[in-house]
Amino acid sequence: MKRSLVTSFCMCFALAGFQAFAQDTASPAMHQHGSSKMKPMAAEVVTSGVVKGVLAETSQLKIRHQPIPEWSMGAMQMKFSLSPGMSTEDFSNGQQIKFRLRQENMMEFTILEVLEE
């Protein structure tokens, strides 16, 4: 009987300590990541690039674009969706374009308009 009381007491003490630890590590202060110094990501940006592929079936372009400093993104080749009203027929491989785009979600980017260079 004495042993089971001691065991029960130890288990309760351990669980209480674990709950306190879990609550402490879930504190919002632990997850700020220097947010007070970070700039918010721009909703829309302008960049330029070269069309490397026209994907008519998905209404997308493959473009090798210049760096996008507003999004901390280096130069690379990516697929971009065209906004409604734009047509892949207006683009060709090798075409140099300057364009305004928006990030829809983590990996989806949409060309909103093509600008004059």
Sort residue 60 into left (φ over 0), alpha (ψ -120 to 50) or beta.
beta
Same domain assignment for residues 48 and 24: no
Per-residue confidence at 99, pLDDT binned at 50, 70, 90? very high
Q: How many separate domains does the chain show?
A: 2
| Tens digits of residue pLDDT in 41-91 | 778 999 999 999 999 999 999 999 999 999 999 999 999 999 999 999 999
12: domain range?
2-31
Same domain assignment for residues 27 and 70: no
Q: What is the arithmetic mean of pLDDT over 5-18? A: 49
Tell me the whole-structure pTM to 2 decimals: 0.65
Instruction: Decide if pLDDT at 35 tops 80.
Output: no
| Residue 49 domain-assigned (yes or no) | yes
Instruction: Decide if pLDDT at 26 tops 80.
Output: no
Q: What is the arithmetic mean of pLDDT over 8-12? A: 50
Same domain assignment for residues 21 and 53: no
Length of the chain: 117
| Residue 37 domain-assigned (yes or no) | no
Residue 108's domain is classified under what CATH number?
Answer: 2.40.50.320
Give 22's Cβ-side CA count (13 Å radius). Answer: 6
| Residue 38 domain-assigned (yes or no) | no
pLDDT value at residue 104: 87
Q: What whole-number percentage of the chain has pLDDT above 90?
A: 58
| Residue 54 domain-assigned (yes or no) | yes
Same domain assignment for residues 66 and 100: yes
Residue that is written with structure tokens 């690039």 in the block: 49
Instruction: Decide if pLDDT at 15 tops 60.
Output: no
Same domain assignment for residues 26 and 48: no
